Amino acid sequence: MKKAALYCRVSTGDQHIETQLLDLRELAKQRGLEIVREYTDVISGAKSKRPGLDSLMSDARRRRFDVVLVAAFDRIARNVRHFLDVLDELSHLNVQFISMRENIDTGGPLGRAMLTIIGAISELERSLIVERVKAGMRRAKLEGRRIGRAPLNINREEVVSDRRSGMSLTKVARKHHISRASVCRLMREAGISPTRVIAQTPQTSTQLEAAA
Protein backbone atom coordinates (compact mmCIF):
# COMPACT_ATOMS: atom_id res chain seq x y z
CA MET A 1 0.00 0.00 0.00
CA LYS A 2 1.39 3.40 -1.01
CA LYS A 3 1.79 6.05 1.65
CA ALA A 4 -0.05 9.31 1.00
CA ALA A 5 0.16 12.89 2.26
CA LEU A 6 -2.77 15.29 2.07
CA TYR A 7 -2.25 19.01 1.56
CA CYS A 8 -5.05 21.50 2.16
CA ARG A 9 -5.04 25.30 2.18
CA VAL A 10 -7.56 28.06 2.80
CA SER A 11 -6.91 31.79 2.55
CA THR A 12 -8.72 32.96 5.69
CA GLY A 13 -9.65 31.58 9.07
CA ASP A 14 -13.40 31.76 8.36
CA GLN A 15 -13.06 29.17 5.57
CA HIS A 16 -13.38 25.49 6.46
CA ILE A 17 -10.29 23.38 5.76
CA GLU A 18 -12.08 20.28 7.06
CA THR A 19 -14.19 20.14 3.87
CA GLN A 20 -11.06 19.59 1.76
CA LEU A 21 -9.70 17.03 4.21
CA LEU A 22 -12.90 14.94 4.17
CA ASP A 23 -12.91 14.81 0.36
CA LEU A 24 -9.23 13.88 0.17
CA ARG A 25 -9.57 11.19 2.83
CA GLU A 26 -12.34 9.61 0.79
CA LEU A 27 -10.23 9.84 -2.38
CA ALA A 28 -7.32 8.15 -0.62
CA LYS A 29 -9.63 5.39 0.58
CA GLN A 30 -10.96 4.81 -2.94
CA ARG A 31 -7.42 4.51 -4.31
CA GLY A 32 -6.22 2.22 -1.53
CA LEU A 33 -3.72 4.73 -0.13
CA GLU A 34 -2.52 4.88 3.46
CA ILE A 35 -2.59 8.44 4.80
CA VAL A 36 0.54 9.05 6.87
CA ARG A 37 0.14 12.80 7.44
CA GLU A 38 -2.13 15.76 6.69
CA TYR A 39 -0.56 19.18 6.03
CA THR A 40 -2.61 22.38 6.26
CA ASP A 41 -2.12 26.12 5.80
CA VAL A 42 -4.33 29.15 6.45
CA ILE A 43 -2.58 31.63 4.20
CA SER A 44 -2.76 33.23 0.77
CA GLY A 45 -1.78 31.03 -2.16
CA ALA A 46 0.31 33.92 -3.49
CA LYS A 47 2.85 33.34 -0.72
CA SER A 48 5.49 30.78 -1.64
CA LYS A 49 6.68 30.35 1.97
CA ARG A 50 4.07 28.45 3.98
CA PRO A 51 4.59 26.33 7.13
CA GLY A 52 2.41 23.44 5.96
CA LEU A 53 3.74 23.30 2.41
CA ASP A 54 7.34 23.73 3.57
CA SER A 55 6.89 20.85 6.00
CA LEU A 56 5.37 18.69 3.26
CA MET A 57 8.29 19.33 0.89
CA SER A 58 10.77 18.63 3.68
CA ASP A 59 9.13 15.27 4.40
CA ALA A 60 8.98 14.49 0.68
CA ARG A 61 12.76 14.85 0.53
CA ARG A 62 12.97 12.35 3.40
CA ARG A 63 10.85 9.90 1.35
CA ARG A 64 8.17 9.72 4.03
CA PHE A 65 5.35 9.24 1.51
CA ASP A 66 4.82 8.22 -2.11
CA VAL A 67 1.80 10.31 -3.13
CA VAL A 68 0.54 13.87 -2.50
CA LEU A 69 -3.20 14.54 -2.76
CA VAL A 70 -4.68 18.04 -3.12
CA ALA A 71 -8.20 19.29 -3.72
CA ALA A 72 -7.16 21.55 -6.64
CA PHE A 73 -4.11 23.08 -8.32
CA ASP A 74 -4.66 26.47 -6.70
CA ARG A 75 -4.36 24.93 -3.23
CA ILE A 76 -0.65 24.44 -3.97
CA ALA A 77 -0.06 27.88 -5.51
CA ARG A 78 -1.69 30.66 -7.49
CA ASN A 79 1.62 31.52 -9.08
CA VAL A 80 2.26 29.27 -12.09
CA ARG A 81 6.02 29.28 -11.66
CA HIS A 82 5.82 28.26 -8.00
CA PHE A 83 3.24 25.57 -8.80
CA LEU A 84 5.42 24.05 -11.51
CA ASP A 85 8.51 24.27 -9.29
CA VAL A 86 6.72 22.25 -6.59
CA LEU A 87 5.58 19.62 -9.09
CA ASP A 88 9.01 19.43 -10.70
CA GLU A 89 10.66 18.73 -7.34
CA LEU A 90 8.03 16.12 -6.45
CA SER A 91 8.63 14.47 -9.83
CA HIS A 92 12.39 14.30 -9.21
CA LEU A 93 11.67 12.75 -5.81
CA ASN A 94 9.41 10.16 -7.50
CA VAL A 95 6.43 11.43 -5.51
CA GLN A 96 3.13 11.05 -7.33
CA PHE A 97 0.83 14.11 -7.43
CA ILE A 98 -2.97 13.83 -7.59
CA SER A 99 -5.36 16.77 -7.92
CA MET A 100 -9.00 15.89 -7.28
CA ARG A 101 -10.76 18.78 -9.08
CA GLU A 102 -8.65 18.63 -12.24
CA ASN A 103 -8.60 14.81 -12.14
CA ILE A 104 -4.83 14.84 -12.77
CA ASP A 105 -2.55 12.02 -11.67
CA THR A 106 1.16 12.34 -12.47
CA GLY A 107 1.59 8.63 -11.88
CA GLY A 108 0.88 8.03 -15.57
CA PRO A 109 2.19 9.53 -18.85
CA LEU A 110 -1.14 11.24 -19.61
CA GLY A 111 -1.09 13.09 -16.29
CA ARG A 112 2.47 14.28 -16.82
CA ALA A 113 1.63 15.45 -20.35
CA MET A 114 -1.44 17.33 -19.09
CA LEU A 115 0.66 19.19 -16.52
CA THR A 116 3.07 20.31 -19.22
CA ILE A 117 0.18 21.59 -21.34
CA ILE A 118 -1.49 23.33 -18.40
CA GLY A 119 1.79 25.01 -17.48
CA ALA A 120 2.29 26.26 -21.04
CA ILE A 121 -1.28 27.60 -21.25
CA SER A 122 -0.96 29.34 -17.87
CA GLU A 123 2.28 31.03 -18.93
CA LEU A 124 0.64 32.17 -22.17
CA GLU A 125 -2.33 33.59 -20.25
CA ARG A 126 0.01 35.48 -17.93
CA SER A 127 1.92 36.93 -20.89
CA LEU A 128 -1.34 38.07 -22.52
CA ILE A 129 -2.45 39.79 -19.30
CA VAL A 130 0.88 41.62 -19.02
CA GLU A 131 0.65 42.72 -22.66
CA ARG A 132 -2.92 43.98 -22.18
CA VAL A 133 -1.83 46.05 -19.17
CA LYS A 134 1.07 47.55 -21.10
CA ALA A 135 -1.20 48.33 -24.06
CA GLY A 136 -3.67 50.05 -21.74
CA MET A 137 -0.90 52.18 -20.23
CA ARG A 138 0.37 53.16 -23.69
CA ARG A 139 -3.15 54.14 -24.77
CA ALA A 140 -3.69 56.20 -21.60
CA LYS A 141 -0.40 57.99 -22.16
CA LEU A 142 -1.29 58.83 -25.79
CA GLU A 143 -4.68 60.15 -24.65
CA GLY A 144 -3.02 62.35 -22.07
CA ARG A 145 -4.51 60.54 -19.10
CA ARG A 146 -2.52 60.28 -15.88
CA ILE A 147 -1.04 56.91 -14.96
CA GLY A 148 -0.69 56.23 -11.27
CA ARG A 149 -1.60 58.26 -8.20
CA ALA A 150 -2.21 61.98 -8.63
CA PRO A 151 0.20 64.23 -6.71
CA LEU A 152 -1.01 65.87 -3.49
CA ASN A 153 -2.57 69.24 -4.31
CA ILE A 154 -1.59 70.93 -1.05
CA ASN A 155 0.73 73.59 0.34
CA ARG A 156 3.58 71.40 1.57
CA GLU A 157 5.33 74.21 3.42
CA GLU A 158 2.13 75.01 5.33
CA VAL A 159 1.73 71.37 6.35
CA VAL A 160 5.29 71.30 7.70
CA SER A 161 4.82 74.66 9.42
CA ASP A 162 1.60 73.53 11.13
CA ARG A 163 3.25 70.37 12.37
CA ARG A 164 6.32 72.27 13.63
CA SER A 165 4.07 74.68 15.50
CA GLY A 166 3.03 71.82 17.76
CA MET A 167 -0.21 70.81 16.02
CA SER A 168 -0.81 67.05 16.29
CA LEU A 169 -0.51 64.71 13.31
CA THR A 170 -4.24 64.10 13.37
CA LYS A 171 -5.14 67.82 13.41
CA VAL A 172 -2.70 68.62 10.60
CA ALA A 173 -4.10 65.76 8.51
CA ARG A 174 -7.68 66.92 9.06
CA LYS A 175 -6.87 70.56 8.30
CA HIS A 176 -5.28 69.74 4.95
CA HIS A 177 -7.58 66.78 4.11
CA ILE A 178 -4.75 64.27 3.83
CA SER A 179 -3.73 61.15 5.77
CA ARG A 180 -1.45 61.08 8.79
CA ALA A 181 0.96 59.00 6.71
CA SER A 182 1.14 61.81 4.13
CA VAL A 183 1.93 64.32 6.90
CA CYS A 184 4.76 62.09 8.13
CA ARG A 185 6.11 61.68 4.61
CA LEU A 186 6.12 65.44 3.99
CA MET A 187 7.92 66.00 7.29
CA ARG A 188 10.60 63.48 6.41
CA GLU A 189 11.01 65.02 2.96
CA ALA A 190 11.65 68.33 4.74
CA GLY A 191 14.32 66.62 6.86
CA ILE A 192 12.29 66.80 10.06
CA SER A 193 11.24 63.94 12.31
CA PRO A 194 7.44 63.65 12.17
CA THR A 195 7.21 62.64 15.84
CA ARG A 196 9.29 65.45 17.41
CA VAL A 197 8.52 69.12 16.82
CA ILE A 198 9.72 72.50 18.06
CA ALA A 199 6.98 74.80 19.30
CA GLN A 200 8.11 78.42 18.87
CA THR A 201 6.82 81.17 21.18
CA PRO A 202 7.94 84.82 21.44
CA GLN A 203 9.66 84.04 24.76
CA THR A 204 11.31 80.69 24.23
CA SER A 205 11.72 77.59 22.07
CA THR A 206 10.64 74.41 23.78
CA GLN A 207 11.11 70.92 22.40
CA LEU A 208 7.89 69.00 22.66
CA GLU A 209 6.92 65.41 22.14
CA ALA A 210 3.91 65.79 19.85
CA ALA A 211 0.79 63.78 20.39
CA ALA A 212 0.42 61.27 17.59
User: What are the catalytic residues?
Assistant: 11
The Cα–Cα gap between 159 and 185 comes to: 11
- Sorted by sequence, the CB contacts under 8 Å of residue 184 that are 6+ apart come out as 169, 194
Under DSSP, the state recorded for 102 is T
CA angle 51, 105, 13 (to 5 degrees): 30
The Cα–Cα gap between 169 and 175 comes to: 10
Max CA-CA distance within the chain?
A: 88
